[in-house]
């Protein structure tokens, strides 16, 4: 159910404490002539999509618009391109889980005091796109995001953005008590942060994050490096579970193969593994994400690849951190395959927790970089794997040429269900 509230020139405190009906899916505030929405929904128990019709004025204030909306969990739709005041706009919106990218057109905003203060559910995604050039006083960012928990990756991006704005002299200065809550930055941006402070910004945050690697991560880096140094690549790796057919897949149980959904095989299709053994597809089961599992008509003798466990987050880095920046030479290495039966090596960055997509980075290590010569990145369905004691450990099946894919750890429960518990899960000590 949609509810539309029509308003006039002033919407200040118009819906204060207003309880929306439980059946309401969207609240539309239709007041295009309004110049003020100050504390419009102050302390409302609202929890639905909120859309504010764009203003017809040259300037509008959204100060405190969602202040005290502790239960709001949906992405608001608000055009801030003509907004001059965002002070306390999301103050104490504790449950809000939304991208801040939508609110990036902040070039006219003069006041952002306490804008995100107490919005503890926000990750900070998109905040790096905000324009701070029109802040009008040294107090215009005071306690901006106090009590929040911005993710390290997103906070790093914000620091980089502030640094480049400072270098371009578009960042107002000085700025007092700019509070980013408990957000921790990585050593990668420490120098940039120091220069922002020298520029005149008083930054309050959780300090530098401790960067380290778990024994499991270190073993994944050493495994590939040892094979490369010994000149045993790829012979030192058990490649048998990789499917050689176009639109590759990879065996994860004696009778199940992991594919991407948009290139899953057809029933009755014959596939061939790298050791020459072949099999026939009996059926396919697709996930709502871009993955699918094919069941083979008969089990094969090929030793399956391993998949990550359900608690993979405690063993591997994620976008919220830590660690985002690995110490030199400590990043786990991944190997990937393409439909031309080529193998490449790259370094693993992190798994993005919210959408379960991973990011790979080109290796700065000459030993690993030498494996990229004349090798094209894999096609959709090509497996991307860690190497663990000579066996392939599936990170994901590649869904596009950027190297992204759905992490097997994130869908571990589904993989167990669809393979009737036959999937081979690595045991991490």
Q: DSSP assignment of 37-75, as one string?
A: -TTTTTT----SEEEEPPPSSS-EE-TTTTTT-TT--S-
Mean residue pLDDT of the chain comes to: 90
Name which residue leads in pLDDT, 326 or 381: 381
How large is the angle between the packed helices 190-199 and 152-167, nearest 10 degrees?
A: 50
* 172-181, 185-194, 338-347: range with lowest mean pLDDT: 338-347
| Interatomic CA distance for residues 18 and 66, integer angstroms | 12
Give me the pLDDT at residue 162, please.
Answer: 97
Give the bridge partners for 77, in sequence order: 51
Give me the pLDDT at residue 313, please.
Answer: 78
The pair of structure tokens assigned to 398 is: 């590649």
The pair of structure tokens assigned to 279 is: 């099999």
Of the ranges 41-45, 226-230, 233-237, the best mean pLDDT one:
41-45
* 172-176, 252-256, 264-268, 340-344: range with lowest mean pLDDT: 340-344
Is residue 401 scored above 80 in pLDDT?
no
Residue whose pair of structure tokens reads 């919210």 in the numeric block = 354
pLDDT digits (tens, 9 = 90+) for 314-352: 787 765 555 556 776 778 889 988 877 788 888 887 776
pLDDT digits (tens, 9 = 90+) for 149-173: 888 878 989 999 999 999 999 999 9
Give me the pLDDT at residue 363, please.
Answer: 73
Give me the pLDDT at residue 291, please.
Answer: 93
Task: Write a three-state SS string for 182-220.
Answer: CCCECHHHHHHHHHHHHHCEEEECCCECCCCCCHHHHHH
| Interatomic CA distance for residues 233 and 73, integer angstroms | 49
In the chain, domain spans: 215-418
| Interatomic CA distance for residues 142 and 111, integer angstroms | 9
Give me the pLDDT at residue 54, please.
Answer: 96
Give me the pLDDT at residue 328, please.
Answer: 67
| Residue 152 backbone dihedrals phi, psi, to 5 degrees | -55, -45
**Average pLDDT rounded to a whole number, residues 113-132:** 92
* 6-10, 69-73, 147-151, 393-397: range with lowest mean pLDDT: 147-151
Give me the pLDDT at residue 325, please.
Answer: 60
Give me the pLDDT at residue 356, please.
Answer: 65
The pair of structure tokens assigned to 81 is: 């391109």
| Interatomic CA distance for residues 109 and 338, integer angstroms | 49
Give me the pLDDT at residue 152, please.
Answer: 81
Name which residue leads in pLDDT, 221 or 379: 221
The pair of structure tokens assigned to 197 is: 């402070």
Give me the pLDDT at residue 52, please.
Answer: 97
Is residue 390 scored above 70 in pLDDT?
yes
pLDDT digits (tens, 9 = 90+) for 405-423: 889 998 999 999 999 999 9
Cα 372 → chain centroid: 26
Give me the pLDDT at residue 404, please.
Answer: 81
Q: 215-418 architecture in CATH?
A: Beta Barrel (2.40)
| Interatomic CA distance for residues 242 and 409, integer angstroms | 19
């Amino acid at each position: 159910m949609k509810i539309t509230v029509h308003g006039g020139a002033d919407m200040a405190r118009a819906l204060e404490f207003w309880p929306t009906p439980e059946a309401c899916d969207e609240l539309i505030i239709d007041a295009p002539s309004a110049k003020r929405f100050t504390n419009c929904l102050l302390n409302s128990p609202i929890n639905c999509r909120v859309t504010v019709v764009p203003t017809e004025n040259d300037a509008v204030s959204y100060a405190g618009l969602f202040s005290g909306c502790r239960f709001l969990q949906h992405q608001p739709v608000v055009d801030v391109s003509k907004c001059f005041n965002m002070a306390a706009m999301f103050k104490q919106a504790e449950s809000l889980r939304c991208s801040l990218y939508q609110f990036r057109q902040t070039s006219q905003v003069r006041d952002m005091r306490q804008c995100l203060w107490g919005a503890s559910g926000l990750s900070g995604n998109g905040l790096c796109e905000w324009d701070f050039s029109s802040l009008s006083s040294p107090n215009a960012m005071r306690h901006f995001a106090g009590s929040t928990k911005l993710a390290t990756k997103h906070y790093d991006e914000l620091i980089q953005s502030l640094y480049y704005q400072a270098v371009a002299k578009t960042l107002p200065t000085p700025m007092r008590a700019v509070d980013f809550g408990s957000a921790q930055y990585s050593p990668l941006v420490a120098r940039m942060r120091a220069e922002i402070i020298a520029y005149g910004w008083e930054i309050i945050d959780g300090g530098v994050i401790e960067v380290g690697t778990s024994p499991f991560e270190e073993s994944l880096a050493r495994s590939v490096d040892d094979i490369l140094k010994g000149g045993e690549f790829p012979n030192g790796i058990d490649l048998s579970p990789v499917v050689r057919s176009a639109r590759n897949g990879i065996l994860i149980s004696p009778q199940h193969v992991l594919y991407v959904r948009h290139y899953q095989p057809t029933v009755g299709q014959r596939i061939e593994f790298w050791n020459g053994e072949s099999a026939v597809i009996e059926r396919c089961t697709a996930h709502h994400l871009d993955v699918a599992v094919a069941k083979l008509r008969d089990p094969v003798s090929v030793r399956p690849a391993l998949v990550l466990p359900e608690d993979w987050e405690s063993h591997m880095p994620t976008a919220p951190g830590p660690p985002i920046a690995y110490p030199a030479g400590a990043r786990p290495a991944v190997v990937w395959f393409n439909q031309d039966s080529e193998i490449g090596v790259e370094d693993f960055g992190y798994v993005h927790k919210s959408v379960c997509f991973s990011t790979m980075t080109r290796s700065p290590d000459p030993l690993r970089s030498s494996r990229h010569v004349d090798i094209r990145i894999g096609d959709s369905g090509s497996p991307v794997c860690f190497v663990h004691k000579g066996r392939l450990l599936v990170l994901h099946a590649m869904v596009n040429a950027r190297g992204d894919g759905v992490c097997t750890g994130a869908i571990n429960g589904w993989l167990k269900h669809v393979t009737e518990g036959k999937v081979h899960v690595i045991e991490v000590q």
